[in-house]
Amino acid sequence: MLLCVLCLTQAPAQAGEVHAFNGSRVKGCQLDGKAYTCGNLPSSAWDDSMAIANGYSVHIRSSISPGWDYGVSMSGSARLSSGGSINLNGINPEKIRISGGSFDAAGEFSLTRPVRVTANVTAGSMTLGGEAGFQITGNMVSKGAVSVATSAIVNGSVSGGQVTVGSSVRISGGLAGTGAVSIGSSTTIGAGVSGSSITADSSVTVTGNVASAGEVSIGSSGIVNGSVSGAQVTTNSSVKISGSVTATGKVSIGSSSTVGADVTGTSITTDASVTITGTVKASDVLTVGSHSTIRGPVSGTNSITLNSPSTIVGTVSSKGPITIGSHANIDGAISGTVVTTGSPVTLKGDIVATSRFTLASGSTVNGNITSPEIEMYAASSIVTGKVTASTYLTMGHAVRINGDVDTGQLKLEASDALINGNAAVDFATLYWHGRVSEKIFCKKGTRPGYCDCVDNQSDYPVNTANGPRCEAPKPAAGALDHFLISHDGSGSVCAPESVTVAACANADCSSKFTGGAQVKLFPGNVSADTGSTGTVKATVSRHTVGSETLRLTSGGTTPVRCIRSTPGENSVNSCDMSFAGAGFEIEVQPFRAGESIQAIIKAREKSDNTDSCVAKFKEQTIDVEYSCAYVRPGTGGEALNVTGGSGIALACAAGKAQTLATSFDRYGDAKVTLAYEDAGELGLKAKSGEVEGEATFGVAPYKFGLTPPAGPIHAGDTFDVAVSALSKNNKVTANFDKAKLPPSATMTNISLNCVRPVGAIAGQLTKKAFEFGEGKATAAVSWNEAGSLQLTAKTETTFLNTGLDTVGSTQATNGTDHCTSVGPVIPKYFLVEQFNEPRKPLDFFYAGEPIPVKVTAMNAAGQATENYSDGIVSQTVTLTAYDKEGKTANPNGGVLGSATIAASAFAKGVARANPTYSSPAGANGKRLPLAPGVMRLRAQNADNTVGSGGDDSHEKAQPEIRSGRLRIATLFGRAGSTLDLPVTVEYWSGASWLLNNRDDFTIVPAAAIAQTSHAHANGSGAKPKTQVFSDLKLDGGKAKLPVQGDAAGWIDIAFNLGIDTTHDQSCLKADPIRTSAGAKLPWLQSLGGCADPSGRATFGIFAPESKRIIHMREVFN
Query: pLDDT tens-digit profile of 570-606?
Result: 566 788 888 888 889 999 999 999 999 999 999 998 8
Ordered by start, the domain boundaries in the chain are 482-580, 583-700, 703-826, 829-962, 964-1099
The pLDDT value given to residue 497: 84
CATH 2.60.40.10 fits 829-962, yes or no: yes
| Residues comprising the chain, all counted | 1117
Please check whether the two domains, 482-580 and 703-826, share a CATH topology: yes
pLDDT band at 799 (very low <50, low <70, confident <90, very high): very high
At 655-701, the pLDDT tens digits run 899 999 999 999 999 999 999 999 999 999 999 998 988 889 999 99
Report in angstroms the alpha-carbon separations of 354 from 129, 358, 717. Answer: 62, 12, 17
- Using the predicted structure, report yes or no on whether residue 160 has a pLDDT greater than 60: yes
Kindly report the three-state secondary structure assignment for every residue of 800-812. HHCCCCCEEECCC
The whole-number average pLDDT for the span 63-89 is: 93
E strands, 633-741, are: 640-644, 646-650, 658-663, 669-676, 680-688, 691-700, 703-707, 713-714, 719-726
Whether the CA torsion 902, 907, 909, 915 is positive or negative: it is negative
The pLDDT value given to residue 477: 47
Q: What is the average pLDDT score of the chain?
A: 89
* Nearest alpha carbon to residue 145 among 169, 165, 115, 120: 165
Q: Bridge-partner residues for 900, per DSSP?
A: 878
The bridge status of strand 910-913 relative to strand 1003-1004 is: unpaired
Give dist(CA 830, CA 715) in Å, integer. Answer: 12
What backbone phi and psi angles, to 5 degrees, belong to 94?
-70, -15
Percent of the chain with pLDDT over 90: 64
Q: Which CATH number fits domain 583-700: 2.60.40.2410, 1.20.120.1200, 3.40.640.10, 1.10.760.10?
A: 2.60.40.2410
pLDDT band at 4 (very low <50, low <70, confident <90, very high): very low
pLDDT band at 1057 (very low <50, low <70, confident <90, very high): very high
Instruction: Out of 215-229, 264-278, 747-761, 1020-1034, pick the least confident.
Output: 1020-1034
The pLDDT value given to residue 450: 82
Give the Cβ contact number of residue 210 at 10 Å.
29
The pLDDT value given to residue 982: 95
The whole-number average pLDDT for the span 331-355 is: 94
- CATH architecture designation of domain 964-1099: Sandwich (2.60)
The pLDDT value given to residue 54: 95
At 950-990, the pLDDT tens digits run 888 899 999 999 999 999 999 998 888 899 999 999 999 88
Instruction: Return the SS3 of 1104.
Output: helix
- Using the predicted structure, report yes or no on whether residue 294 has a pLDDT greater than 60: yes
Percent of the chain with pLDDT over 70: 93
- Using the predicted structure, report yes or no on whether residue 838 has a pLDDT greater than 80: no
CATH code of the domain occupying 703-826: 2.60.40.10
DSSP 161: S
CB 100 within 8 A of CB 126: no
The whole-number average pLDDT for the span 1100-1105 is: 61
Instruction: Return the SS3 of 582.
Output: strand
The whole-number average pLDDT for the span 542-560 is: 82
The pLDDT value given to residue 923: 66
* Nearest alpha carbon to residue 496 among 542, 462, 465, 535: 542
At 179-203, the pLDDT tens digits run 999 999 899 999 999 999 999 998 9
**Strand order of the sheet with strand 933-941?**
844-846, 960-962, 933-941, 877-883, 900-901
The pLDDT value given to residue 951: 85
- Using the predicted structure, report yes or no on whether residue 921 has a pLDDT greater than 60: yes
Instruction: Return the SS3 of 893.
Output: helix
Whether the CA torsion 609, 610, 613, 615 is positive or negative: it is negative
Report in angstroms the alpha-carbon separations of 53 from 23, 46, 101, 994. Answer: 9, 22, 9, 39
- The DSSP annotation for 851-889 comes to --EEEEEE-TTS-B-TTS-TTTT---EEEEEEETTS-SB
Q: Bridge-partner residues for 625, per DSSP?
A: 659, 687
The whole-number average pLDDT for the span 556-580 is: 73
The whole-number average pLDDT for the span 543-551 is: 88
- Using the predicted structure, report yes or no on whether residue 10 has a pLDDT greater than 50: no
At 490-536, the pLDDT tens digits run 888 888 888 889 888 888 887 888 777 888 889 989 988 887 778 88
DSSP 83: S
Give dist(CA 886, CA 741) in Å, integer. Answer: 56
The pLDDT value given to residue 896: 94
Instruction: Return the SS3 of 719.
Output: strand
At 1065-1082, the pLDDT tens digits run 887 766 666 667 888 999
The pLDDT value given to residue 211: 96
At 372-407, the pLDDT tens digits run 999 999 888 999 999 999 999 999 999 999 999 999
Give dist(CA 206, CA 218) in Å, integer. Answer: 10
CB 1017 within 8 A of CB 926: no
Amino acid at 917: Y
- CATH architecture designation of domain 482-580: Sandwich (2.60)
